[in-house]
Amino acid sequence: MRQVLESTAIEVAKGEFIAILGKSGSGKTTLLNLISGIDEVDCGDVYFEGIHLTKMNDTERTLFRRRNIGFIFQFFNLIPTLTVWENVILPLELLGLHSEKADTPADRRARQLLVEVDLAGREKTYPDRLSGGEQQRVAIARALVHDPALVLADEPTGNLDDETGVHILQLLDRLTRQAGKTLILVTHSPEAAAFADRVFQLQAGRLVQVSGAK
């Protein structure tokens, strides 16, 4: 068994934007998986607003993650057989917040998010008809639609050209800040990390703060 993270400790304030820099294979995705409870820690503890995730079983962590965390991925992870609208409301359906027969507050939030990401009118479009930037904008709307306290972004611009990547980062920064969300972004790009309040470098399994308030 290979040790990926060692003596890694970080405390993130509510509403803060944290970036974690590291090379491929340095453990960035593993760290996000531990924070979200996808992976179990071998030792140590993970707390979320005072809640001890490490003490939860698999089912409890899944339900907690479904309600409290939004994910954005490098390769978008949209479901190709679902339309833009169906992809965005999927978290609502998993939480029982969407209704085909009623105009719920959650549905109104989904429609507003599509306006915010400039995809209003594209609700019936399938992912293969969208550009990479458009797909990532759908993914951002999906990550925010259930009003999570924490958003985790795993190399969200890694599959985009530089100009599109900057637009995605600006959009993500604006939407999470105006909603008061905590955002943790992992990236290999210093340009992407520059949007954050604090930047950490993952070096040999340890987190070292390299910029921002100490």
pLDDT score at 67:
93
Give the pLDDT of residue 170.
95
Q: Which two tokens stand for residue 1?
A: 């068994």
Alpha carbon 207 to its chain's center? 20
pTM of the complete model: 0.91
User: What angle is formed at CA 65 by the lines to CA 63 and CA 66, rounded to 5 degrees?
Assistant: 65
Q: What is the mean pLDDT of each run of 10 residues along the chain (214 residues)?
A: 61 93 82 87 83 89 93 93 96 86 82 95 96 96 95 93 93 93 93 94 83 67
Spatial distance between the Cα atoms of 184 and 198, rounded to a whole number of angstroms: 10
Which fold is adopted by the domain 17-211? Answer: Rossmann fold (3.40.50)
- How many C-alpha atoms does 14 have within 13 Å on its Cβ side? 8
